[in-house]
C-alpha cells in the first residue's frame, strides 16, 4: 500500500515537472508525457434495476504515465486507492432511468486530475419488468452493438435481444411465450422514435438432479472442539436440468447432513439442493483432540490494523485489515498467529457514520481488546436535480413584451448522495431549450452544476398582437379640382385609405372597408387656392392621419369679342365666312364674360377656307397662359345656334384645332359658333 501511494505521489511530482518542461504545441516533447486511465469492468456490476445504487466494487483501474509506467489497482481493495476515484453518476446514487448509461470515472491523485474513462451499464426497468422471474445480462460494445440476455431465474437457456447503444427508456413485457423489449433510440427508432424487439421466452428448465463434481479439498481430520463448521473449500456441485448445460450451485445454497463435528467418527456427508439429493457423498473424519495436544484458551490482538484514516461510506465496502496480527493462545506451547481469513469481526457498520470498537473472534474465543475505526459520511456529491413544482404562469409569453422567463412558483431540489435534498435558488439554475423571440411551444430544460432535471416544463411563446402604426391614402379622390360656386361639398369618389400595421416586424396594410369610419376635414370651396384635406382614423383613443390636396379655382366662359350675347351665353357665333370668300376677320378674340369686357382669355386664329370648292373651313383656338382650357365645342352652320344641338367637341383639348368640311357650295353666310370654358390657373401659394 505504501509503495502504491509513493508511486502515486511520485507521479504527481513528475506531472508537475513535466508540465513545466513540455515544449509548445507541436514541439518534440508532445508525445513523451502520456497520462490517463483505463478501466476493466469485467468484474464490476453492469446490470441494475431502476432504483439500485451505483456500485464500483471490483472495477479495475490502471493509471498510466509514460515516465512511471502503469499503476493498477482495484476499487475497494484499499481505502487510499479508492479515494482517487470519483464517478458520474456518483457511487451510491440511485439510478432512475432505464436503458444504457455511461459511467464516467475520473482519477485524481493528490489533487491532480489524471483523466476520465467510462464504461457502460444497463438499467432494467421497474414496474412492468420481468425482474421477479428473470435475470438480465448485457454484452457487447458501442462498435459491435449490445445484446440484452434474458434468463429464467430457475436456470435454463439465455435468449438475447439486440439493442442499439443509445437505447433509453427500456420496457420488458411478456405475453404467453414471447418477450417484447421496447426502448427509445434516436439512431434506429422509427417514426415514434422507438425500437421494438420480440423474442421467444426462455424455456424454464426442470431440475432433475445434482452431482458432486469435486469434493472438498480438505483431507485432514476435523478436531472436536477446534473445528465447528465444515470446510467446503474446493467443493463443486452441479445442478442438472432437463434442458441446457449443468450449472454450478453455490455452496451456501446446499443442504449438508449426515455428520456431527462433536462426535468422533467417519461420516459420509449427504448433499442436497432443493428437492434433489446427490447420488454420491463425500467423507470426513472427526477425531478427539490428541492427548496432550494444546487446547485453545484465548486469542489476543498483537497489532491492530495499520490504517488510521476514517472509512468513507459508499467508498469503503470492506475493512482494511492490513497490519492486523492476532495470536491464538493455547494451554501449552507458544502462541500461534491466526490467518486473517479465519477471524470473525463484528461490532461495526461501514454504512453508518460513527466510531466503532471492532470485536475479534476465533473458534469461539473473543479477544479481550478491540481496535477502533471511524466511519465518516461520504463527501456530499450532487447526484441529480428534480423539478418539484413548475412555474405557476400558464399564460403565453408575448414576443417583444416578455423578455425573460417568469419563474414564479418554480421549485427545483438538488439531491445528494447522502440523501440530502435542498431547494436551489432560481438564480442558480441554467435554463435552455426556449426562445422568447420566436413563436412556438417549448420544453424548458433545467440544469444545475452539471446535472439536468429528468423532466421539463412547457411554455408557449405567441407573436405580439399587430400594432396599428398609421394610415395611408392608397388612392386620392378622382375629382381634384373644384370651381368656385359650382360645388359646396367634397366629392370623395375614388378615395381609398389603408390601415398600416406592424405585425412583429412586418408591415401589413388593410383597406378601410367603410369610408364612413373616416373623418374628413372641412375645406373652404369659396376661395381660390390649393387646399389640404386631412383624413383621420381613430382607434383606442388615438388618431391616425394622412392628407391629400385639392385645387379650388374659377371657371370662366368665353365670349367672342364684338358680338352680341346670344340667348345661351355659353355659345357665341361670328360671321366666319361670306358667300364671296373668307371674311377679313382672320383672328377673333375670346373674352371672359365673368371677368369683364376687354379681359381676353384667348383667340380663334388662322381662319382659312374657300367657298364653292368644298374646302375645309378651319381655325385654331389659343388660350392665354393664365387660363387652362376646360371644354371646347364648335358648330359650323347657318343660322347662328342658340343651343348646344349639333355642336362637335374637339378631341385634342390640349391642341384645339376646329375644322369643318364643306359638303356643298354655299352662297350664304356661314357661322362658326364655339363654347369655351376655362379655369384660372393658380399657383401653389395662391
Give the start-to-end residue ranges of the domains of the chain. Answer: 2-22+30-124, 134-200, 207-287, 296-376, 382-462, 467-552, 555-680
Helix, strand, coil in percent for the chain, rounding step 5: 5, 50, 45
CA distances for 549 relative to 478, 482, 496, 511, angstroms: 12, 11, 14, 20
Task: Tell me: pLDDT of 599 over 70.
Answer: no
Task: Tell me: pLDDT of 282 over 80.
Answer: yes
Beta bridge partners of residue 670, listed in sequence order: 577
Task: Tell me: pLDDT of 81 over 60.
Answer: no
Tell which residue, 100, 194, 198, 106, has the closest CA to residue 145: 100
Count the neighbouring beta carbons within 10 Å of the beta carbon of residue 494: 11
Among 248-252, 383-387, 651-655, the range scoring the smallest mean pLDDT is 651-655
Q: What percentage of residues in the chain have a pLDDT greater than 70?
A: 73
Beta bridge partners of residue 65, listed in sequence order: 35, 69
Beta bridge partners of residue 415, listed in sequence order: 384, 421
| Top-confidence range, 30-34, 204-208, 224-228 | 204-208
Work out the pLDDT band at 609, boundaries 50, 70, 90.
Answer: low
CATH number (3.50.50.60, 2.60.40.3630, 1.20.120.350, 3.90.230.10) of 467-552 reads 2.60.40.3630
Q: What percentage of residues in the chain have a pLDDT greater than 90?
A: 33
Contact in structure between 501 and 469 (CB atoms under 8 Å): yes
Q: Residue 515, SS3?
A: helix
- Give the per-residue pLDDT at 7: 36
Class of the domain covering 382-462: mainly beta
- Give the per-residue pLDDT at 504: 77
Higher-scoring residue by pLDDT: 435, 561: 435
Work out the pLDDT band at 120, boundaries 50, 70, 90.
Answer: confident
Contact in structure between 79 and 309 (CB atoms under 8 Å): yes
Within this chain, domains 207-287 and 382-462 share the same CATH topology = yes
- Give the per-residue pLDDT at 310: 93
- Give the per-residue pLDDT at 348: 94
Task: Tell me: pLDDT of 469 over 90.
Answer: yes
Q: Residue 670, SS3?
A: strand
Diameter over CA atoms, the chain? 187
**Which residues are CB-contacts of 398 (< 8 A; sequence separation ≥ 6)?**
461, 462, 463, 464, 465
DSSP strand pairing (354-362 vs 99-109)? unpaired
Q: Which residues of 224-263 are buried (b: 16+ CB within 10 A; e: fewer)?
A: beebeebebeebebbbbbeeeeeeebebeebeeeebebee
Task: Tell me: pLDDT of 83 over 80.
Answer: no
The sign of the torsion formed by the CA atoms of 160, 162, 166, 172 equals: negative
Work out the pLDDT band at 468, boundaries 50, 70, 90.
Answer: very high
- Give the per-residue pLDDT at 519: 95
Task: Tell me: pLDDT of 17 over 60.
Answer: no
Tell which residue, 553, 524, 499, has the closest CA to residue 533: 524
Work out the pLDDT band at 442, boundaries 50, 70, 90.
Answer: very high
Considering the chain, what is the average pLDDT of its residues? 78
Among 16-30, 149-163, 343-357, the range scoring the smallest mean pLDDT is 16-30
Among 189-203, 244-258, 655-669, the range scoring the smallest mean pLDDT is 655-669
Work out the pLDDT band at 595, boundaries 50, 70, 90.
Answer: very low
DSSP string over 330-365: ESSS--EEPPGGG-EEES--TTS-EEEEEEEEETTE
- Give the per-residue pLDDT at 24: 33
Work out the pLDDT band at 267, boundaries 50, 70, 90.
Answer: very high
Contact in structure between 283 and 265 (CB atoms under 8 Å): no
Q: What is the CATH number of domain 296-376?
A: 2.60.40.3630
Which residue carries 343660322 as its cell? Answer: 639
670-681 pLDDT tens trace: 556 677 788 888
Task: Tell me: pLDDT of 391 over 60.
Answer: yes
The pTM of the full predicted model, rounded to 2 decimals, is: 0.39
For residue 46, the surrounding DSSP H or E stretch is none
- Give the per-residue pLDDT at 54: 82
Work out the pLDDT band at 11, boundaries 50, 70, 90.
Answer: very low
Higher-scoring residue by pLDDT: 138, 538: 538
Among 340-344, 480-484, 663-667, the range scoring the smallest mean pLDDT is 663-667
Q: What is the CATH number of domain 207-287?
A: 2.60.40.3630
Task: Tell me: pLDDT of 265 over 60.
Answer: yes
At CA 594, angle to CA 593 and CA 595, rounded to 5? 95
Task: Tell me: pLDDT of 179 over 70.
Answer: yes
At CA 175, angle to CA 173 and CA 179, rounded to 5? 50
Cell representation of residue 500? 398600416
Class of the domain covering 2-22+30-124: mainly beta
Task: Tell me: pLDDT of 570 over 80.
Answer: no
- Give the per-residue pLDDT at 586: 58
Amino acid at each position: 500500500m505504501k509503495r502504491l501511494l509513493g508511486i502515486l505521489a511520485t507521479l504527481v511530482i513528475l506531472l508537475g515537472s513535466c508540465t513545466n518542461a513540455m515544449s509548445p504545441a507541436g514541439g518534440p516533447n508532445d508525445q513523451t508525457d502520456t497520462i490517463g486511465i483505463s478501466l476493466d469492468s469485467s468484474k464490476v456490476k453492469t446490470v441494475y434495476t431502476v432504483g439500485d445504487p451505483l456500485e464500483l466494487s471490483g472495477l479495475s483501474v490502471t493509471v498510466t504515465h509514460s515516465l512511471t509506467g502503469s499503476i493498477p489497482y482495484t476499487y475497494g481493495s484499499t481505502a487510499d486507492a479508492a479515494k482517487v476515484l470519483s464517478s458520474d453518476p456518483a457511487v451510491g446514487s440511485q439510478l432512475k432511468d432505464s436503458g444504457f448509461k455511461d459511467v464516467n470515472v475520473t482519477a485524481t491523485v493528490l489533487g491532480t486530475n489524471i483523466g476520465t474513462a467510462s464504461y457502460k451499464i444497463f438499467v432494467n426497468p421497474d414496474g412492468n419488468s420481468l425482474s421477479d422471474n428473470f435475470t438480465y445480462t448485457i454484452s457487447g460494445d458501442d462498435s459491435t452493438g449490445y445484446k440484452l440476455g434474458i434468463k429464467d431465474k430457475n436456470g435454463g437457456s439465455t435468449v438475447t435481444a439486440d439493442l442499439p447503444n443509445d437505447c433509453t427508456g427500456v420496457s420488458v413485457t411478456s405475453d404467453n411465450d414471447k418477450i417484447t423489449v421496447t426502448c427509445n433510440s434516436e439512431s434506429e427508432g422509427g417514426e415514434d422514435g422507438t425500437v421494438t424487439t420480440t423474442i421467444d421466452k426462455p424455456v424454464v428448465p426442470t431440475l432433475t438432479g445434482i452431482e458432486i463434481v469435486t469434493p472438498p479439498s480438505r483431507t485432514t481430520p476435523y478436531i472436536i472442539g477446534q473445528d465447528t463448521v465444515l470446510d467446503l473449500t474446493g467443493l463443486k456441485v452441479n445442478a442438472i436440468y432437463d434442458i441446457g448445460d449443468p450449472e454450478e450451485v453455490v455452496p451456501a445454497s446446499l443442504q449438508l447432513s449426515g455428520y456431527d463435528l462433536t462426535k468422533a467418527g467417519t461420516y459420509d456427508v449427504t448433499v442436497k439442493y432443493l428437492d434433489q439429493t446427490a447420488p454420491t457423498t463425500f467423507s470426513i473424519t472427526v477425531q478427539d483432540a490428541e492427548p496432550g495436544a494444546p487446547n485453545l484458551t484465548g486469542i489476543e490482538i498483537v497489532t491492530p490494523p495499520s490504517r488510521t484514516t476514517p472509512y468513507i461510506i459508499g467508498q469503503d465496502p470492506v475493512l482494511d485489515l492490513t497490519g492486523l496480527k492476532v495470536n491464538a493462545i493455547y494451554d501449552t506451547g507458544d502462541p500461534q498467529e491466526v490467518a486473517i481469513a479465519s477471524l470473525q469481526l463484528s461490532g461495526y457498520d461501514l454504512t453508518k457514520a460513527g466510531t466503532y470498537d471492532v470485536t475479534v473472534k476465533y473458534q469461539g474465543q473473543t479477544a479481550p481488546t478491540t481496535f477502533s475505526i471511524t466511519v465518516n459520511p461520504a463527501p456530499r456529491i450532487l447526484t441529480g436535480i428534480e423539478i418539484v413544482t413548475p412555474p405557476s404562469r400558464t399564460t403565453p409569453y408575448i414576443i417583444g413584451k416578455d423578455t425573460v422567463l417568469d419563474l414564479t412558483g418554480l421549485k427545483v431540489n438538488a439531491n445528494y448522495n447522502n440523501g440530502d435534498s435542498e431547494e436551489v435558488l432560481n438564480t442558480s439554475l441554467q435554463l435552455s431549450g426556449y426562445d422568447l423571440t420566436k413563436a412556438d411551444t417549448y420544453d424548458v430544460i433545467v440544469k444545475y452544476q452539471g446535472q439536468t432535471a429528468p423532466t421539463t416544463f412547457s411554455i408557449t411563446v405567441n407573436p405580439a398582437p399587430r400594432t396599428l402604426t398609421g394610415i395611408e391614402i392608397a388612392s386620392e379622390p378622382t375629382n381634384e379640382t373644384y370651381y368656385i360656386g359650382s360645388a359646396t361639398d367634397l366629392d370623395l369618389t375614388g378615395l381609398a385609405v389603408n390601415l398600416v400595421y406592424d405585425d412583429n416586424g412586418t408591415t401589413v396594410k388593410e383597406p378601410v372597408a367603410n369610408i364612413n369610419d373616416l373623418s374628413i376635414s372641412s375645406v373652404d370651396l369659396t376661395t381660390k387656392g390649393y387646399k389640404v384635406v386631412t383624413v383621420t382614423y381613430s382607434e383606442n383613443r388615438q388618431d391616425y392621419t394622412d392628407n391629400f390636396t385639392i385645387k379650388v379655382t374659377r371657371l370662366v366662359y368665353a365670349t367672342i369679342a364684338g358680338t352680341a350675347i346670344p340667348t345661351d351665353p355659353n355659345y357665341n357665333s361670328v360671321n366666319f365666312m361670306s358667300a364671296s370668300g373668307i371674311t377679313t376677320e382672320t383672328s377673333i378674340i375670346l373674352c371672359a364674360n365673368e371677368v369683364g369686357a376687354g379681359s381676353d382669355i384667348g383667340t380663334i386664329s388662322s381662319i382659312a377656307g374657300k367657298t364653292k370648292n368644298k374646302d375645309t373651313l378651319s381655325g385654331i383656338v389659343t388660350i392665354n397662359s393664365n387660363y387652362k382650357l376646360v371644354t371646347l365645342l364648335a358648330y359650323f352652320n347657318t343660322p347662328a345656334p342658340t343651343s348646344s344641338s349639333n355642336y362637335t367637341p374637339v378631341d385634342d383639348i390640349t391642341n384645339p384645332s376646329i375644322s369643318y368640311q364643306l359638303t356643298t357650295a354655299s352662297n350664304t353666310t356661314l357661322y362658326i359658333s364655339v363654347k369655351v370654358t376655362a379655369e384660372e390657373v393658380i399657383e401653389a401659394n395662391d
